[in-house]
């Protein structure tokens, strides 16, 4: 009898041990951000209104209608006069880029931001276990990740991932790769390097769908240090709660709305189709449908379900098209579908700065306030669309404004060619007051400005009144 009892006790202890081991194992799979460094190019690379005008005027393939289109696009883009361009633009060689132009642009960023990040955190390059680099529009041999490894003399067993073609949502894809590695490897340090190479990708033709990218994209980048070391969790800034990726590449219309291709004259550029907003909305809705149950409280999900059922029932009772509803029915029927309130589970919204229309569209769909949209709008104005790194400039703005307190939850949303929508939720681990090297430190007191009006209209608005038959480019 005693042997049976001992066997039962041993089995019980073993089960408890396995449960504890499984729980303890999960604690080592968490993904934390220790620090991040956004790249701030030197002041001699700033694009003010006058210099932008000079660049446009020296693009010989443009006519009056293209000038009018560009003026409208630039004025409505939400971009200010302090954004940055690659050095090739200031040398006047954007029409004839070389491979070394793209490489030197990236290396300038690598040596600055990755170096600053490692020095500030006291981490040696030899301690890095995982390196993920995403630069969509430049692929070199050896790879850009190899150039970083060579410069910083990292270990020969470092796990390396080099991503290209992933577009503006690539940084969250990179974070997801690190998260997956952390699930099978304990006590690791990872660096994610995210940027875009603009030097070889200036479009010099006159196709309007391809000119637009010249107006939106600007130089930038970010290096992010992540870990799953339990001993470092108290030093971390953020903890990853969940991440959802949505890919609509199987849909032809979504796949074709963002393409790198050549125009009719063989000039390489980035094509943005008219159905892009529709494709983005569709991917956005599908992404939210998956992530909402993961990040919102049950009470909000139940409230939304009840309101949606009531709205659906009420609208189904309305008369068919062409027949006016009764006054009572018209008064009781909701004007539009109900919107789920993401602010019940999210404190801050970190939105990709794809353009003013993108930010405003997300604001309408999520019923966000001007306060919620301020970080993205100000980042777009100050730094422009820096592709996959833009999310981290938005996060830097929140930190510099001292908005991020312990326990707050930050929702990141990004879009990319393919077509993709990726989102994730971070929890703030400790109060963040903006470090000495925050990319916003020198400018934060000037934001938000009294107006975001672009001076292009004041300087070049006369183009709107020009006659195509008599128009000449002024000297």
At residue 330, the pLDDT reads 47
| Span 29-308+340-465 CATH architecture | 3-Layer(aba) Sandwich (3.40)
pLDDT of residue 319: 52
Give the pLDDT of residue 49. 87
Q: 465 is written with which tokens?
A: 């009144």
Active site (annotated) includes residue 381: yes
Q: Per-residue pLDDT for 248 more than 70? A: yes
pLDDT reported for residue 398: 97
pLDDT at position 114 over 80: yes
In contact, 361 and 283? CB cutoff 8 Å: no
Average pLDDT for 333-359: 87
Inform me whether the pLDDT recorded for 326 exceeds 60.
no
Cα-only R_g, the chain: 25
Of these residues, 247, 248, 258, 438, which one is catalytic? 247
Scored b (16 or more CB within 10 A) or e, 422-440 reads bbbbbbbbeebebbeebbb
C-alpha 449/C-alpha 229 separation (Å) is 41
Task: Tokens for 448, please give them.
Answer: 């938000």
In this predicted structure, what is the pLDDT of residue 101?
95
pLDDT tens digits, 125-180? 999 999 999 999 999 999 999 999 999 999 999 999 999 999 899 999 999 999 99
Region 261-283: what's the mean pLDDT?
90
**HSE-up of residue 270 (Cα within 13 Å, Cβ side):** 20
Place of tokens 């932008």: 52
**Mean pLDDT, rounded, for 441-453:** 89
Domain boundaries, the chain: 29-308+340-465
Which residue, among 188, 213, 247, 216, has the nearest Cα to 355 in the 3D structure?
A: 216
Condensed to tens digits (0 to 9), the pLDDT of residues 3-24 reads 766 666 666 665 555 554 554 5
Could you tell me if 367 and 13 are in contact, meaning their C-beta atoms sit under 8 angstroms apart? Answer: no
**Marked catalytic residue, from 134, 381, 422, 438:** 381
User: Where are any strands of DSSP class E within 118-276?
Assistant: 130-135, 159-163, 189-195, 221-227, 238-247, 258-262, 268-272
Tell me: pLDDT of 73 over 90: no
Q: Which of 271, 352, 422, 438 is catalytic?
A: 352
Dihedral angle sign, alpha carbons of residues 19, 20, 23, 26: negative
Q: What's the chain's average pLDDT?
A: 88
Q: 445: closest CA among 356, 382, 360?
A: 382
d(CA 435, CA 282): 38
Three-state secondary-structure class, residue 7 = helix
Question: Which of 52, 168, 215, 424 does the annotation list as catalytic?
Answer: 168
Q: Which of 287, 348, 438, 454 is catalytic?
A: 348
- Do you find a cis peptide bond into 142, omega within 30 degrees of 0? yes
The phi, psi pair for 58, rounded to 5°, reads -85, 0
Cα 340 to chain centroid, rounded: 23
- Tell me which range, 30-34, 257-261, 452-456, 469-473, is most confidently predicted by mean pLDDT: 30-34
Tell me what the mean pLDDT of segment 343-362 comes to.
Answer: 93
Instruction: Please say if 151 is a catalytic residue.
Output: no
pLDDT at residue 408, rounded to an integer: 97
Q: Is the pTM of this model over 0.85?
A: yes
The terminus-to-terminus CA distance of the chain in angstroms comes to 104
DSSP structural state of residue 338: -
Residue-wise pLDDT for 215-230, tens only, equals 889 999 999 999 999 9
Whether 385 is catalytic: yes
Task: Find out whether 388 and 171 touch, Cβ atoms under 8 Å.
Answer: yes
Beta strands in 248-299 (DSSP E): 258-262, 268-272
| Dihedral Cα 82, 88, 93, 96, nearest 10 deg | -130
Catalytic residue among 162, 201, 206, 385: 385
Q: Is 348 a catalytic residue?
A: yes
CA nearest 404: which of 150, 36, 26? 36
Average pLDDT over residues 420-447: 92
Q: Could you tell me which of 47, 355, 65 has the C-alpha nearest to residue 206?
A: 65
């Amino acid at each position: 009898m005693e042997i049976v009892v001992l066997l039962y006790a041993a089995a019980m202890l073993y089960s408890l041990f396995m449960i504890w081991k499984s729980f303890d194992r999960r604690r080592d799979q968490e993904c934390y951000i220790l620090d991040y460094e956004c790249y701030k190019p030197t002041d001699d690379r700033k694009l003010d209104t006058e210099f932008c005008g000079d660049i446009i005027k020296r693009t010989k393939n443009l006519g009056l209608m293209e000038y009018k289109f560009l003026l409208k696009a630039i004025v409505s883009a939400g971009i200010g006069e302090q954004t940055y361009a690659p050095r090739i633009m200031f040398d006047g060689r954007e029409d004839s880029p070389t491979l070394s132009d793209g490489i030197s642009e990236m290396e300038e960023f690598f040596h600055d931001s990755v170096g600053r990040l490692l020095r500030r955190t006291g981490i040696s390059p030899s301690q890095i276990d995982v390196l993920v680099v995403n630069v969509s529009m430049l692929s070199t041999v050896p790879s850009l990740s190899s150039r970083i490894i060579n410069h910083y003399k990292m270990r020969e067993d470092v796990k390396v991932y080099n991503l290209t073609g992933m577009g503006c949502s690539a940084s969250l894809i990179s974070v997801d790769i690190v998260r997956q590695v952390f699930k099978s490897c304990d006590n690791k340090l990872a660096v994610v390097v995210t940027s875009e190479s603009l030097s070889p990708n200036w479009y010099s033709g006159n196709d309007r769908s391809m000119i637009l990218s010249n107006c939106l994209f600007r130089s930038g980048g970010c290096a992010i240090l992540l870990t799953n070391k339990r001993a470092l969790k108290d030093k971390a800034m953020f903890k990853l709660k969940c991440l959802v990726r949505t890919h609509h590449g199987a849909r032809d219309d979504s796949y074709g709305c963002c393409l790198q291709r050549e125009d009719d004259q063989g000039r390489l550029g980035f094509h943005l189709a008219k159905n892009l907003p529709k494709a983005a909305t569709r991917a956005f809705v599908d992404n939210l449908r998956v992530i909402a149950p993961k990040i919102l409280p049950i009470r909000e999900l139940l409230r939304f379900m009840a309101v949606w059922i009531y709205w659906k029932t009420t609208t189904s009772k309305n008369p068919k098209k062409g027949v006016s509803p009764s006054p009572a029915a018209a008064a009781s029927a909701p004007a539009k579908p109900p919107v789920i309130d993401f602010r019940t589970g999210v404190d801050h919204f970190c939105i990709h700065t794809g353009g003013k229309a993108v930010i405003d569209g997300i604001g309408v769909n999520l019923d966000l306030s001007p306060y919620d949209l301020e970080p993205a709008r100000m980042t777009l104005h100050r730094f422009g669309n820096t592709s996959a790194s833009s999310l981290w400039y938005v996060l830097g703005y929140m930190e510099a404004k001292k908005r991020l307190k312990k326990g707050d939850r930050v929702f990141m949303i990004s879009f990319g060619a393919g077509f993709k929508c990726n989102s994730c939720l971070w929890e703030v681990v400790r109060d963040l007051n903006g470090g000495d090297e925050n990319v916003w430190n020198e400018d934060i007191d000037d934001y938000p400005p009294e107006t975001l009006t672009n001076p292009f209209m004041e300087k070049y608005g006369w183009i709107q009144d020009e006659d195509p038959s008599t128009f000449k480019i002024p000297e």
